[in-house]
């Protein structure tokens, strides 16, 4: 059936996959980042198709907006001489190929045999409200653990960055 939803999904999925392939194949880091932004945004499009508009907005806000910026700043932090890695041996390539093939087979059978029951959903009505009610009544513990995780990430990164900073300060 060629419904509008199907066409939209194919279009968005195509952009996402092309973005991913470009990310792997381009040699310039900045080009990779722009390809990655396209992938992130089209994944948000897929969420919209799945009636998860809050998640879609978050995907754009966090991934396309914030994660990309942190990677861009990471690129600016490094010295970027254009050095490409020496190509690996053919033996190694073969092993990687086998690995990819195995993964694809596992994924294929996994999805093929997966039996998701069709449920009536009303996710598109008051989507954020539904998430809020679920998150703050059923999933309180994971939510609070998230805050600990975020705190650890923040303090850890500050410690690492500060160490770097002091070293640089010594040099100057």
Give me the residues that bind other proteins (CB under 8 A), please: 4-5, 28, 30-31, 33-34, 37, 41, 48, 51, 53-54, 56-58, 60-62, 64-70, 72-74, 76-80, 122, 124-129, 131-133, 135-137, 140, 143-144, 146-148, 150-151, 153-155, 157-158, 161-162, 164-165, 168
Q: How far is the CB of 160 from other proteins (least distance, A)?
A: 10
Q: How far is the CB of 15 from other proteins (least distance, A)?
A: 11
* 20 vs 68 by CB, closer to other proteins: 68
* 31 vs 93 by CB, closer to other proteins: 31
Q: How far is the CB of 113 from other proteins (least distance, A)?
A: 29
* 104 vs 151 by CB, closer to other proteins: 151
Q: How far is the CB of 20 from other proteins (least distance, A)?
A: 18
Q: Position of tokens 């009544």?
A: 137
* 6 vs 109 by CB, closer to other proteins: 6
Q: How far is the CB of 64 from other proteins (least distance, A)?
A: 6
The full DSSP string for 141-172 is HHHHHHHHHHHHHHHHHHHHHHHHHHHHHHH-
The full DSSP string for 16-74 is HHHHHHHHHH-SSHHHHHHHHHHHHHHHHHHHHHTT-HHHHHHIIIIIIIIIHHHHHHH
Per-residue tokens: 44: 């948000």
CB of 53 closer than 8 Å to CB of 127: yes
CB of 49 closer than 8 Å to CB of 8: yes
* 77 vs 95 by CB, closer to other proteins: 77
**How many residues are given for the chain?**
172
């Amino acid at each position: 059936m060629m419904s509008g939803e199907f066409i939209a999904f194919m279009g968005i999925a195509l952009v996402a996959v092309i973005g991913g392939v470009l990310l792997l194949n381009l040699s310039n880091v900045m080009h990779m980042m722009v390809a990655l932004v396209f992938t992130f945004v089209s994944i948000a499009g897929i969420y919209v198709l799945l009636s998860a508009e809050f998640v879609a907005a978050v995907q754009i806000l966090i991934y396309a907006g914030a994660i990309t910026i942190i990677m861009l700043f990471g690129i600016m932090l490094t010295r970027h001489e254009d050095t490409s890695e020496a190509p690996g041996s053919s033996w190694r390539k073969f092993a990687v190929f086998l690995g990819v093939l195995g993964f694809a087979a596992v994924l294929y059978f996994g999805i093929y045999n997966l039996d998701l029951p069709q449920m009536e959903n009303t996710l598109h009505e008051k989507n954020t409200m539904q998430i809020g009610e679920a998150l703050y009544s059923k999933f309180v513990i994971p939510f609070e653990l998230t805050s600990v995780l975020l705190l650890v990430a923040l303090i850890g990164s500050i410690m690492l960055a500060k160490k770097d900073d002091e070293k640089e300060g010594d040099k100057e």
